[in-house]
């Protein structure tokens, strides 16, 4: 079966007690939810301009994202792996 990330997140949130009954610890569940969060694209945060280009930083770890030109944008944060949604500024 194919679930979207949002569907999986909803399932994890709504069936937490059942999942814990399967022997999966609360810690593991939290880690899985965090990983799913990183898979959900987030808008980059504006971080000033550099040589005429807009700079952005990671919405999760706040590290600058390497965007040296408008055509090349990292789909993920190199530092923490947060998926970045660049569509917001197109
Ligand atoms: Zn990051």
Q: What is the pLDDT of residues 43-67, one digit of tens each?
A: 999 988 878 878 889 999 999 887 6
CA distances in angstroms from 25 to 11, 21, 28, listed in the order given? 16, 9, 5
Map residue 14 onto helix, strand or coil.
Answer: helix
- Please tell me the distance between residue 18's alpha carbon and the centre of ligand 1 in angstroms: 32
pLDDT, residue 70, reads 57
Predicted confidence at residue 71, as pLDDT, reads 59
CA of 8 to the centre of ligand 1 (A): 22
Give 9 Cα–ligand 1 centroid separation in angstroms.
Answer: 20
**At 37, phi and psi to the nearest 5?**
-60, -40
pLDDT at 67: 60
Contacts of 11 by beta carbon, 8 Å cutoff, 6+ apart: 3
Residues (pLDDT < 50) of the chain are: 90
pLDDT at position 72 is: 65
> For residue 78, how far is its CA from the centre of ligand 1 (angstroms)?
7
Q: How far from the centroid of its chain's Cα atoms is residue 90's Cα?
A: 19
């Amino acid at each position: 079966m194919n679930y979207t990330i949002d569907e999986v997140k909803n399932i994890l949130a709504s069936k937490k007690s059942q999942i814990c009954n399967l022997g999966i610890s609360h810690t593991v569940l939290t880690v899985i939810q965090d990983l799913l969060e990183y898979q959900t694209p987030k808008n980059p945060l504006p971080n000033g301009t550099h040589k005429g280009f807009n700079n952005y930083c990671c919405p999760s770890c706040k590290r600058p994202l390497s965007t040296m030109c408008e055509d090349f944008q990292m789909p993920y944060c190199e530092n923490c792996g947060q998926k970045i949604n660049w569509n917001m500024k197109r």
